[in-house]
C-alpha cells in the first residue's frame, strides 16, 4: 500500500545517510544498492540518527521547524525540530525510501 513519506521519516533517512557520509539523490541503481549494503542494523542506525540529532541540539542548531499541512487545513501546524527519533520512524522511513524491505506480516 502506498502512502506518502512523512517529514520525520525523511529527516531520519537524511541524517542516517549523512552519518554514513552519503547523499541520497542523483545516484545510479548500483550506487543505491551499495548504500543499502552499508546501512547498519536498525538499532545501530537508530543510535547514529539520534547521535546526529544530539550534536545539533548541543550546538543549539534548530535548522527548521517541521510543517504539517494537509488539504482542508485552515492554517499550517509547525512542530519544533526533533531532539530524538524513534526506531519505528526510522524503520518506516527506510521502508518508504526503499533502503529496507518491509517485514512480512502474518495473515490471520
What is the predicted pLDDT for the residue at 44? 97
Mean pLDDT of 78-83: 92
Tell me how far CA of residue 64 lies from CA of 22, 36, 53, 56, in angstroms. Answer: 21, 28, 13, 12
Return the pLDDT at 1. 54
pLDDT value at residue 30? 92
pLDDT, one tens digit per residue, over 35-45 is 999 999 999 99
Q: What average pLDDT score do residues 90-96 get?
A: 93
Mean pLDDT of the 16-44 span: 91
Report residue 29 as a C-alpha cell: 541503481
Higher pLDDT, 107 or 75: 75
Residue 108, pLDDT > 70, answer: no
Amino acid at each position: 500500500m502506498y502512502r506518502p513519506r512523512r517529514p520525520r521519516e525523511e529527516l531520519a533517512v537524511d541524517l542516517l545517510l549523512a552519518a554514513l557520509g552519503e547523499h541520497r539523490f542523483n545516484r545510479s541503481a548500483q550506487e543505491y544498492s551499495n548504500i543499502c549494503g552499508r546501512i547498519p542494523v536498525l538499532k545501530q542506525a537508530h543510535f547514529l540518527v539520534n547521535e546526529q540529532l544530539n550534536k545539533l541540539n548541543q550546538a543549539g542548531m534548530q535548522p527548521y521547524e517541521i510543517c504539517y499541512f494537509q488539504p482542508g487545513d485552515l492554517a499550517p501546524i509547525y512542530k519544533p525540530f526533533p531532539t530524538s527519533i524513534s526506531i519505528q520512524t526510522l524503520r518506516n522511513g527506510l521502508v518508504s525510501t526503499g533502503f529496507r524491505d518491509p517485514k512480512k506480516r502474518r495473515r490471520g
